[in-house]
Structure 1
Amino acid sequence: MGLIARLFRDTRGGVALIMGLSAPAVVLGVAASVEYGNIALRRTQLQNAADNAALRAANELALVSSDTYIQNLAVEAAFDAARATDPKITRVRAEIQNRRSWVKVEITETVKSVIGRALTLPSSEVSVSATGQVVGTSRICLLALDTKARETLHLHKGARVTAEGCALYTNSSARSAAKIEDNANVTASLLCSAGGVEVKSATINAEQMTDCPAKADPLAARTPPTVSGCDHTNRVVDGSKTPTLSLMPGRYCGGLKITKGAQVTLMAGIYTIDDGPLKVENASIRGEYVGFYFTGDAGGLVFDPKSTIDLSAPKDGPMAGLLFFENRTVSNPLEPLLDLLSPVPPPPLGSTPMRTYRIVSDNARNLLGTIYLPAGRLVIDAKKPVADRSAYTIIVAKQVELFDGPNLYLNTNYSATDIPVPKGVGPKTERSISLVQ
């Protein structure tokens, strides 16, 4: 009995006993960590394969009409990428979604498990997915450049935009970047917002996309025309004194006002409207191959309801294809007012300084060319169609607002005119490919 008692009190060799008993658990834990790391690495490899396949297939959406071809392309691309890192047997599925603007790729792979086999779980499933989207396949007819303000594209009080076959974009990240309300109507191939689209009591006949990648200013590289000395200062054409008149291109310092029934023909060339507005009040202006360059804080324009406007952009020179072009900087702009017109509604809170370009004319049927106002707010509140007789009209402005019932037409008959379309808008737009998820 004494020997037995001493045996139980003897602690010699205890550490070895503990190590011996715990060793299998330690080895199992290390092996599990290594295996988990390998599975995590494989998941990353498969996710990269899905991402690449989704982007490649999305790029083909604008080029290929066959859904089967695009799905097969996505599957093959995913297989190739997945097997390049590990030649296991994977399962790939591709699906075209969201009215043919998304391609979703799913990859599933069975991963064998040494540790799992010991626990009656010899394998596990690793699944990943990616969705690629294509933006910009439609022709750009309108782009609101402001990246932060609310309602950078705003239609209300029965306003309409008819842009069949082309797209409307807004770069603002605000939840109401595009706001369509109060019986307004949009007809286009695409309404694409970097932020959100808010619709209230309105109709949108267009594919809607939110969280679109913001589009860089497609005309940012255009060089402004050269400005020389003043050819005219505070020029006023009074129809009660001079009913008809032809004006020559040049620099109109302090602006240009055409009023009281005057009928003015503009000779071809560039009209620099410097530190004053272009005003047409109860009068008419007509000009072929003319471009207006606005500069100075007092720049801008206003066409009153009784004015007649018939203009086409230059076909060559520094303003080729540009009907309106403005200096890209402004610090303290003044709104151009006419006695008979009330001020326009204020711009959204948080807006930076902008010149105002207001078209109220009920006879502005031809505005052929591109309206480029990178520091401007275009306001159209006519009650009759605007630009409906133009072969094409493109608008790139900081903000665009339509109210009081106009119908702005953004036609796309580019081949019907010799006025060139600036690169980056119209028929030659760049596609933007990105991952949705």
Structure 2
Amino acid sequence: MNFGNFCITDTLRRYRKDRSGHFAVWFALLGLPLLASASYVIDYNRALDTKADLKGALDAAALAAVSKQNISESERAIYAQDYFNENFAKANEFKLSIDNRSAKKVQLSATGRSPVTIAAALGIKDIVVSEDSSAIVTSENVVCVMTLNPDGRESFSVYSGARFRSPTCAVQVNSNHPEAAYVSSDSSAVAKDFCIVGGGSGSFSPYINTECSPLQDPYINKVAPAAGPCVSLLGANVSVKGPTMTIGNNVVMTPGTYCQNVRVSGKNVRMLPGTYIMKDTEIWMRNGSTLDAESATIVLEGKFARIYVEQGSVFNLSAPKTGPLAGLAIFQNRAVSLNDSNKLPNGSSSISGGSKMSIVGTVYLPTQTIEVYGDSGYDNTSPATAYIGYNVSLGKGANLAVKVDHSTAGLPPILPRSDEGARLVQ
């Protein structure tokens, strides 16, 4: 067939011999797989980003849930789910499994699918993404200050230029009040941890942990020795007037039950090792006095029993290393120290400005407020001390430094232990 100078037969013959256009044909045939492969790399990287976000959300939810100690297991599961939903943008596309929801360990896992684009044309529908996380509560903190007030405001307070320092131990505040702990702007409080059942405000370092549960009083079942016959100290430097016994220079006190208020006004006063029961009486270190007591426990018994350390006095007390009161320097007999109405606190024991007091062991005043105020150089040298009171208050320039090296002190381990926090284990 010939159309003028155009011959169809010749044209077909030349086309069969021509190879220059076959690349386009092959490219057309291979283009879709190549494009799908390239897009799958992008899809896979997107899935890796989703996996990283998923891991972060699971870790955060596990830590938050196990730190929430004051809720039931079912509530903890709901809390973990809500926390996960709030912190993972694709939460509705993933199934969260709560494999462990106990107060000691929370274990979470989640599975979902990351979509693909052009790769779907090759039968690849999506990419499975899964992750898991576990967090546990660590309970290795030694508590060196503990307040037992269950619902009071400012159960632990530091104000008016006071300073509190316990970098190796924790503060436990059992009050569930929204303002259970307070540090004023001109004061400071430093501890390994501040575990507050309720809430608080102020200059805490680190900031308070408000996800804590109350700790049980470690000495609630401790029984104090029974009171015996009243001690009568004799000597030229001991005077008795009415209900008060005044102790002057160089007096050696003996263990036993003291039924009169004790005023230590002299220097070089010493307590022999043993138990000193203050039966409904006060023991008062007056200005300029010095009292040293080694391997001794002062027991406050009765609703009027108190201990006061005045400005300018020096009081050094170390607890017994063995025996029923081992580690206890000052012990209040809770059973016989409540007032008629059982309203708490029912009094306070205090350290005044300018006094120097070193206590090795635990001060246990479960129904009283422990007060430290007025430029007190308090416990800067003691290797191991703990304070357990109904409330604890530092004010007016007080300076309280606390350490808990019981091994150096030769005492039993300081109690109690607190929830340090949470850490990831997976």
What is aligned with 1:227?
227
Deviation at 1:231, TM superposition (A): 1.8
Larger radius of gyration: 2
Counterparts in 2 of 1:52-131, with a 5 A limit? 54=62, 105=108, 107-108=110-111
Out of 193, 196, 201, the residue aligned to residue 198 of structure 1 is 201
Structure 1, residues 350-380: CA drift from partner, whole Å, max 9, x if none? 9724231111152424211101111111001
Change (3 A) 1:91 1:380: closer
Alignment of 1:335-374 (within 5 A): 352-360=344-352, 362-374=354-366
Is 2:141–2:418's contact at 8 Å kept on the other side of the alignment?
Answer: no
How far off is 1:262 after superposition?
3.9
Q: 2:296 is matched with which residue?
A: 290
Helix, strand or coil at the partner of 2:260: strand
**Hey, what's the Cα distance between the residues in 2 that align with 1:267 and 1:416?**
22
Indicate the RMSD between aligned Cα atoms, in angstroms. 3.8
C-alpha separation in 2, matches of 1:322 and 1:178: 26
Give the Cα separation in 2 of the matches to 1:388 and 1:133: 35
| Residue in structure 2 matching 1:418, options 391, 410, 422 | 410
Q: How many residues align?
A: 310
Question: Unmatched 5+ residue regions in structure 1?
Answer: 1-49, 60-88, 95-100, 111-126, 334-349
1:245 match: 251
- The match for 2:275 is 270
- Where 1:244 maps in the other structure, the secondary structure is coil
- 1:389 is matched with which residue? 381
What is the aligned partner in structure 2 of residue 211 from structure 1? Answer: 211
Q: Describe the shift of the 1:130–1:229 C-alpha distance in structure 2 as closer, same or farther (beyond 3 A).
A: farther
2:123 maps to: none
Question: 1:226 is aligned with what amino acid?
Answer: A
Per the alignment, residue 402 of structure 1 pairs with 394
State how far apart, in whole Å, the 2-side matches of 1:316 and 1:360 are: 31
CA contact (8 A) 1:155 1:180 kept: yes
Contact 1:158 1:183 in 2 (8 A): yes
Q: Deviations over 1:211-270 (max 9, x none)?
A: 31111112223221222122248452343xxx21111011001331112x3431111111
CA contact (8 A) 1:272 1:293 kept: yes
* Distance change in 2, residues 1:327/1:272 (3 Å): same
Amino acid at match of 2:151: K
Partner of 2:7: none
- Looking at structure 1, the residues matched to 306 and 201 of structure 2 have their Cα atoms a distance apart, in angstroms, of 29
For residue 237 of structure 1, what is the amino acid of its counterpart?
A: T
1:304 aligns to 2:310 (yes or no): yes
2:27 matched residue in structure 1: none
Equivalent position to 1:181, from 179, 184, 191: 184
Distance in 1 (CA, whole Å) between partners of 2:390 and 2:181 is 13
Asked whether the 8 Å contact 1:252–1:271 carries over to 2, the reply is yes
Unaligned runs of 5+ in 2: 1-57, 68-93, 114-129, 233-239
In structure 1, how many angstroms separate the alpha carbons of the residues matched to 2:111 and 2:197?
32
Q: Does structure 1 retain, via aligned residues, the 8 Å contact 2:345–2:390?
A: no
Secondary structure at 1:357's aligned position in 2? strand
User: Taking structure 1 as reference, are residues 383 and 430 closer, same or farther at Cα in structure 2, changes over 3 Å only?
Assistant: closer
Q: Residues 219 and 332 (structure 1 numbering): CA distance in 2 closer, same or farther, change over 3 Å?
A: closer
The residue type paired with residue 245 of structure 2 is V
Contact 2:223–2:333 (Cα < 8 Å) also in 1 = no
* Deviations 1:82-102, CA, capped at 9 Å, x for gaps: xxxxxxx967799xxxxxx99
Post-superposition offset of 1:191: 0.8
> Helix, strand or coil for the counterpart of 1:157?
coil
TM-score (norm 1): 0.63
Identify the residue that residue 245 of structure 2 maps to in structure 1.
236
Contact kept? 1:312, 1:323, Cα under 8 Å = yes
The residue type equivalent to 1:280 in the other structure is: M
Question: Which of 143, 153, 157 matches 2:156?
Answer: 153
* Deviation, structure 1 residue 188: 0.9
Q: 1:272 touches 1:295 (CA, 8 Å); kept in 2?
A: yes
Give the drift of 1:322: 0.4
Partner Cα separation in structure 2 for residue 180 and residue 207 of structure 1: 11
Tell me, yes or no, if the aligned pair for 1:307 and 1:361 is still in contact at 8 Å. no
Alpha-carbon shift at residue 294 of structure 1 (Å): 0.3
Tell me: CA distance 1:248–1:363, structure 2 relative to 1, closer, same or farther (3 Å). Answer: same
- d(CA) in 2 for partners of 1:390 and 1:215? 25
TM-superposition CA deviations, 1:116-148 (whole Å, max 9, x none): xxxxxxxxxxx9x99967364322111111111
CA contact (8 A) 1:91 1:109 kept: no
Kindly indicate whether the alpha-carbon contact (under 8 Å) linking 2:142 and 2:418 is maintained by their aligned counterparts in 1: no
Distance verdict in 2 for CA 1:300–1:133, change over 3 Å: farther
Q: CA deviation at 1:161?
A: 1.0
- Describe the SS at the equivalent of 2:334: coil
State whether residues 215 and 418 of structure 2, in contact with CA within 8 Å, keep that contact through their aligned partners in structure 1: no
Distance 2:141 2:273 in 1: 32
Partner of 2:78: none
* Compared CA separation, residues 206 and 130, structure 1 to 2 (3 A): same
Q: Which residue of 1 aligns with 2:168?
A: 165
Corresponding residue SS for 2:386: strand
Contact 1:374 1:396 in 2 (8 A): yes
Q: For residues 304-344 of structure 1, what are the alpha-carbon distances to aligned partners after superposition, in whole Å with 9 as ceiling and x for unaligned?
A: 102111111111222110011002143449xxxxxxxxxxx
